[in-house]
Amino acid sequence: MRRALGSKIALYIVLALGAVAFLFPFYYMLVGSFQSNVDPTVAGAFPNPANLTTANYTAINERVNLLQGLANSGIFAGGVVLGTVVFGVLAGYSLAVLQWRGRQATFALALFVQVVPFQLLMIPLYVMIARDYGLSDSYLGMILPFFINSTAVLIFRQYFLQLPRELFDAARIDGAKEFRLLWSVALPLVRPAILTAVLLTFIGPWNEFLWPFLITKNAALQPLAVSLANFISNVAASTANPFGAMMAGAAVLAAPVVVLFIIFQRYFTTNDIGSGVKG
């Protein structure tokens, strides 16, 4: 009993230390965003209440339109998530469930895309999007290169492969067509995959700044990550507390991702996908 209790206590201590190490940067960012005078020492993590102010948020908002940047980030990330989910589900279902010539070759090609860094494709994509398609300074030009995500295709394929074939056979006997099968049988059973793909896909474009910066120099269209990068490079030194303003901008940028994770994290569980099959 004592050995089991000691092991449990040690486990909780290790988990608590890991949680503190993981959460401390977020806490330090939040505290730093409210400090009127920067305190780089360890004591800065426990600031004097008299040193706390919202002036950093006002300072960053005067130079970077936070609401406009958040709206642009939402349009960019939302468009990417929409394309990722729609085309990822369709392609994953086709690769896992349907039988057609060239399926294995297409799957191998999707795997091959995983080993090609996006940075190698950035210049050709930029020339194609900006020169050939004329989509510079537009939301579509930012969204289009990320509209189909091969990682999401592979995730959905693996989830669809786990579904019992008997479910599809029974629905086909009842006269269901493929889109009916996908909508009524497959999608409800792969909800964890959809939510995981939404969250993971959302984080990437939400924090992306290099590609949107290449596509548009129009500040009214730039996502918040791009605006903050420009602020750090060109404008930060003009503020009274540049580090505090940077922390404030980072806190605003991180807030939607944290909220989204809190909302969705309880759904990241594995469904009992075999429960719909008798016996």
**What CATH number corresponds to the domain at position 142?**
1.10.3720.10
User: Is 261 within a domain?
Assistant: yes
Q: Can you read off the two tokens belonging to residue 156?
A: 């959905």
Query: 34 in a domain, yes or no?
Result: yes
Q: Which residues of the chain have pLDDT under 70?
A: 1-2, 235-237, 266-279
User: Do 131 and 201 lie in a common domain?
Assistant: yes
Q: Are residues 39 and 94 in the same domain?
A: no
Q: Are 16 and 83 found together in one domain?
A: no
The reply to whether the predicted model has a pTM over 0.85 is no
- pLDDT reported for residue 262: 80
> Are 88 and 177 contained in the same domain?
yes
Distance CA(145)–CA(254), nearest Å, equals 24
Of the three residues 12, 32, 53, the one that is the final residue of a domain is 53
Tokens read off for 145 = 């290169």
Residue 135, in any domain of the structure: yes
**Are 85 and 16 members of one domain?**
no
Q: What pLDDT is attached to residue 1?
A: 65
Looking at the structure, do residues 33 and 127 belong to the same domain, yes or no?
Answer: no
116 and 208 co-located in one domain: yes
Pair of tokens at residue 6: 């000691």
Same domain, 99 and 71: yes
The pLDDT value given to residue 161: 86
pLDDT of residue 158: 86
pLDDT value at position 171? 82
Quote the CA–CA distance of 187 and 177 in Å, as a whole number: 14
Number of domains, the chain: 2
pLDDT tens-digit readout, 110-123: 888 888 888 888 88
Residues in CB range of 277: below 8 A, 6 or more apart: 164, 166, 167
Q: Are 214 and 122 in contact (CB under 8 A)?
A: yes
- pLDDT value for 75: 94
30, 95: one domain: no
Residues 35, 88 within the same domain: no
Q: Are residues 45 and 169 in the same domain?
A: no
pLDDT digits (tens, 9 = 90+) for 160-190: 888 888 888 888 888 878 888 888 888 888 8
Q: What is the per-residue pLDDT for 53?
A: 86
Segments forming the whole domain that contains residue 48: 2-53
> 30 lies in a domain?
yes
Do 29 and 163 fall within a single domain? no
